[in-house]
Structure 1
Amino acid sequence: MSGTLGSLFLVLIGSMDLTNGQNIKNNQSFGQSNYPLVINTWPFVKATEKAWQVLEKTDDPLTSVEQGCSVCEELRCDGTVGWGGSPDENGETTLDAMIMDGPSHDAGAVAGLKRIKSAISVARAVMEHTKHTFLVGDAATQFAVEMGFKEQSLSHIDSVDRYLKWLNNSCQPNFRLWVSPDPSLNCGPYQPVQPATNSDKTNANINQQSHDTIGMIAINSDGDMAVGTSTNGAAHKIAGRVGDSPLIGSGAYVDNEVGAACGTGDGDVLMKFLPSYQTVESMRGGKSPSEASEDALRRIVNKYPKFMGAIVAVSKNGDYGAACHGLDEFKFSYGSRKTNGINVESVKCI
Structure 2
Amino acid sequence: MSSRRHFLQSSLLAAGALAAPRAALSAAGSGAKVVSTWDFGVGANAAAWPVLARGGSALDAVEAGARWAEADLCNPTVGRCGNPDRDGVLTLDASIMDGDGRCGAVAALEDILHPVSVARAVMEKTPHVMLVGEGAQRFAAAQGFPKQPLLTDEARKAWREWLKTSEYQPQINAERRQRPGDASNHDTLGILAIGADGKLAGACTTSGMAWKLHGRVGDSPIVGAGLYVDNEAGAATASGVGEEMVRNAASFLVVELMRQGRSPGQACREAIERVVRKRPEASKQLQVCFLALNKHGEVGAYALHQGFVYAVHDGGAGPHERLHESASVYATEHK
TM-score, length-scaled by structure 1: 0.80
The aligned residue for residue 233 of structure 1 is 208
Larger Rg: 1
One-letter identity of the residue aligned with 1:348: A
- Alpha-carbon distance in structure 2 between the residues aligned to 1:64 and 1:260: 14
Cα deviation for residue 311 of structure 1 reads 0.6
- Alpha-carbon distance in structure 2 between the residues aligned to 1:60 and 1:349: 32
Cα deviation for residue 338 of structure 1 reads 3.2
The aligned residue for residue 333 of structure 1 is 311
> Which fold has the larger relative contact order, with Cα–Cα distance below 8 Å and residues 6 or more apart in sequence?
1
One-letter identity of the residue aligned with 2:307: E
The aligned residue for residue 20 of structure 1 is 9
- Alpha-carbon distance in structure 2 between the residues aligned to 1:240 and 1:21: 35
Please say if residues 34 and 338 of structure 1, whose CA atoms lie closer than 8 Å, have aligned partners that are also in contact. no
Please say if residues 263 and 276 of structure 1, whose CA atoms lie closer than 8 Å, have aligned partners that are also in contact. yes
Mean alpha-carbon deviation: is it higher for 335-344 or for 205-214? 335-344
After TM superposition, which residue ranges in structure 1, 4 or more long, deviate above 4 angstroms?
none
Cα deviation for residue 43 of structure 1 reads 1.7
The aligned residue for residue 112 of structure 2 is 116
CA-to-aligned-CA distance 1:234-265 (integer Å, 9 cap, x gap): 00000000000110011010111110000000
1:297 lines up with 2:272 in the alignment = yes
* Structure in which a larger fraction of residues adopt helix: 2
- Alpha-carbon distance in structure 2 between the residues aligned to 1:58 and 1:299: 38
Alignment of 1:115-264 (within 5 A): 115-169=111-165, 171-173=166-168, 204-209=169-174, 210=184, 211-264=186-239
Can you give the 5+ residue segments of structure 2 that lack an aligned partner in the other structure? 13-28, 175-183, 330-335
- Alpha-carbon distance in structure 2 between the residues aligned to 1:105 and 1:221: 19
| Identity, % of aligned positions | 38
- Alpha-carbon distance in structure 1 between the residues aligned to 2:39 and 2:5: 13
1:347 lines up with 2:330 in the alignment = no
Cα-Cα RMSD: 1.9
TM-score, length-scaled by structure 2: 0.84
Please say if residues 240 and 288 of structure 2, whose CA atoms lie closer than 8 Å, have aligned partners that are also in contact. yes
Can you give the 5+ residue segments of structure 1 that lack an aligned partner in the other structure? 1-14, 24-32, 174-203
- Alpha-carbon distance in structure 1 between the residues aligned to 2:219 and 2:300: 20
- Alpha-carbon distance in structure 1 between the residues aligned to 2:311 and 2:129: 28
CA-to-aligned-CA distance 1:18-76 (integer Å, 9 cap, x gap): 322789xxxxxxxxx97200001112111111111121124211110001011111124
- Alpha-carbon distance in structure 2 between the residues aligned to 1:154 and 1:116: 8
CA-to-aligned-CA distance 1:102-143 (integer Å, 9 cap, x gap): 1x3100000000111111000001001111110000110110
- Alpha-carbon distance in structure 2 between the residues aligned to 1:224 and 1:218: 8
Please say if residues 32 and 194 of structure 2, whose CA atoms lie closer than 8 Å, have aligned partners that are also in contact. yes
